[in-house]
Structure 1
Amino acid sequence: MYRFLLTPRWLALHVVVLLVIPAFVFLGRWQFGRFEERSANSDRVTSNIEAAPVPLDRLAAPGQQVRQDDRFRTVTVAGTYDPSHALLVRRRPQAGMPGYYVLTPLVTGPGTAVIVNRGWVKAGATADTAPEVPPAPTGQVTVTGRLRPSETEESSGIRERSGLPAGQVLLINPAKIGEGLPYQLVGGYVELTEQQPKPAAAPEPVPAPDVGSGGGLNLAYGVQWWLFIGIAIAGWILLIRREVAERRAQESSGAVVAEEAETAAN
């Protein structure tokens, strides 16, 4: 009755099922891994955002890279802005509008400084029109903001290129920005959230990061792939049982016909 399972058509089906099952197992495990990774990242970022502010020098120093584990930690730092080396970061949309981030070095001591992202300004009327940028405050200020590691092409997805207008960059990369500056920069930057004394005018604040669902979709996809394993096995068994039922029905029908023929002949 089950010899049909060794026919070429059924052997091909067996091979497909045997290949599909481990593939679905792998895809499910990969999605579960992504879930754990994103959940851990979400928990770390949330914890850093909610942590009490600490002085910048407790987490970062000039010439040293900001650790990934410290990203979005709230820090405070005092100093004076150096508007002569201010920069605009291109291609930074906000609220669905094209614009720029405004970077200004904050000199924190003799020969040391940190890049401060003072916020966002909308683009000019044309690509060649300079945006309106509120000036940086003069005198001593105290900045509170989110600590961010340096941007790279890999981490940002933005491709660096040459030939930009003077005073503009594509990536917030203090190692490159600091070339030729009269002070050493921290290997990261501060995304301003508060400033004392408060300026009369300032760029729009950069929104807090969207922590997201912590990989909830990846968990759902992982469960989905493993459900597909059960569906594949159940479908395989169902096809076999249907084939067996059809063959038994054909045999029974053939036996009845033969019996009727024999009866008629007698």
Structure 2
Amino acid sequence: MTVYRFLLSGKWVGAFALCVAFSILCLFLANWQMERKEEVDYRNQLIADNFNASPVNLSEHEGAFDTFDEQLKWQPITLRGEYVSDEQVLARNRPYHGVNGFEVLVPFVTVQGEAVLISRGWVPAGFGDALAPEQEVDAPPAGEVTIVARYHNSEMDTGRGAPEGQIASIYLPDLAKMTGVPVGEAAYGLLVSEDPAVPSTPIVKEAPEQDTGPNLSYSMQWYAFAILIYVVYAWSARQKVRNDELDAQLAAELEKYYGQFYDEEGNYVGEEDEDIIIRKMQMVDDMPSHLKSIMRPAPARSKKRRTDEDEEDAYLDSLGI
């Protein structure tokens, strides 16, 4: 193993340190992707468990719209009360099945006195005027209503403006100020059904797609890179040993070749001009490394079965052709 002593040199120790740093970075990125995958899996599991679950009563989860409960996301909740239809707001730039549109938002006050924002569904934007719905949105049912709505968290504030009566983000604190109704600021409801129903209602969106995403494959790639960097390091070290062996073999062959021009006492005995021989030796010494590599002896090739072409060439050689 003395041929690998060069691994203790500063250059190779530094290269190994870089490999370690690179592998640690790869492991960090792989774990980050795995965390992203776990988040997606958790989201998909919530959709699978809650989206089509039986509705629960709001009384079982008092204050849920003031403090968001992650475990309840997508869970249908039954509420009884009245819409504040005069405070209807449209959330703009809401694409659905490739069509831009709006979500219709209306405050709802339950019989318990709790105010909740309800998204009654989606309506497409006008063909000639994307700033307004395609047609006028019908008012929600008047009087006391029993509704079922899926529990959903508030969106982030984008800071973007919107025309009057519209909002860029379902950021509940802003909606509470805009409507003057103190709706819960942590969560709102996505309408499933109303009783009594009205003839025309916005479109209730389907369940979100449960896409697993590419995070698992990305994570596996980063884990592979963390290992491959050491494979590359080991291969580079093996190549250096191999090249050193070939260089030593080349040096021995050159020494043998040029040694024939001198006797044991160092006197020149060749027939060619000694200056030419000396210049040839100097040329080898002065060669850059990439040219010296060309002079390295070719590695021994493993024997293989002779092909038909080899047999034909051998036959022609035997005939002197």
TM-score (normalizing by structure 1):
0.83
Give 1:130 shift.
5.4
Give 1:131 shift.
4.4
Shift in CA distance, 182/247, structure 1 to aligned 2, threshold 3 Å? closer
| Higher relative contact order (CA closer than 8 Å, sequence separation 6+) | 1
Q: Does 1:168 align with 2:170?
A: no
What's the CA shift string for 1:81-136, capped at 9, x where partnerless? Answer: 22111111112121112211101222322744322111111112224545421222
Of 122, 126, 129, which aligns to 1:126?
Answer: 129
Aligned to 1:151: 155
Preserved contact between residue 118 and residue 189 of structure 2 (Cα < 8 Å): yes
Shift in CA distance, 118/129, structure 1 to aligned 2, threshold 3 Å? closer
Structure-to-structure mapping, 1:86-125, within 5 angstroms: 86-109=88-111, 111-124=113-126, 125=128
Residue identity opposite 2:223 in structure 1: W
**CA–CA separation in structure 2 for the residues paired with 1:10 and 1:54:** 65
Deviates more, 1:57-66 or 1:14-23: 57-66
For residue 179 of structure 1, give the secondary structure of its aligned residue in structure 2: helix
Aligned to 1:236: 233
Aligned to 1:19: 21
- Report how many aligned residue pairs link the two structures: 258
Give 1:212 shift.
2.2
Aligned to 1:192: 191
Give 1:32 shift.
2.3
**CA–CA separation in structure 1 for the residues paired with 2:254 and 2:177:** 95
Residue identity opposite 2:184 in structure 1: V
Preserved contact between residue 59 and residue 70 of structure 1 (Cα < 8 Å): no
Deviates more, 1:12-21 or 1:24-33: 12-21
Give 1:244 shift.
0.8
Unaligned runs of at least 5 residues, structure 1: 154-158
Residue identity opposite 2:164 in structure 1: A
Shift in CA distance, 109/17, structure 1 to aligned 2, threshold 3 Å? same
Shift in CA distance, 53/265, structure 1 to aligned 2, threshold 3 Å? same
Residue identity opposite 1:94 in structure 2: Y
**CA–CA separation in structure 1 for the residues paired with 2:217 and 2:71:** 27
Give 1:184 shift.
4.1
Looking at CA atoms only, which structure, 1 or 2, has the larger radius of gyration? 2
Q: CA RMSD in A?
A: 2.8
Percent pairwise identity = 28
Preserved contact between residue 105 and residue 115 of structure 1 (Cα < 8 Å): yes
Residue identity opposite 2:250 in structure 1: S
**CA–CA separation in structure 2 for the residues paired with 1:130 and 1:217:** 36
Preserved contact between residue 120 and residue 204 of structure 1 (Cα < 8 Å): yes
Shift in CA distance, 181/36, structure 1 to aligned 2, threshold 3 Å? closer
Shift in CA distance, 109/174, structure 1 to aligned 2, threshold 3 Å? farther
**CA–CA separation in structure 2 for the residues paired with 1:54 and 1:242:** 69
Preserved contact between residue 101 and residue 133 of structure 2 (Cα < 8 Å): no
Shift in CA distance, 66/57, structure 1 to aligned 2, threshold 3 Å? farther
Q: Does 1:253 align with 2:250?
A: yes
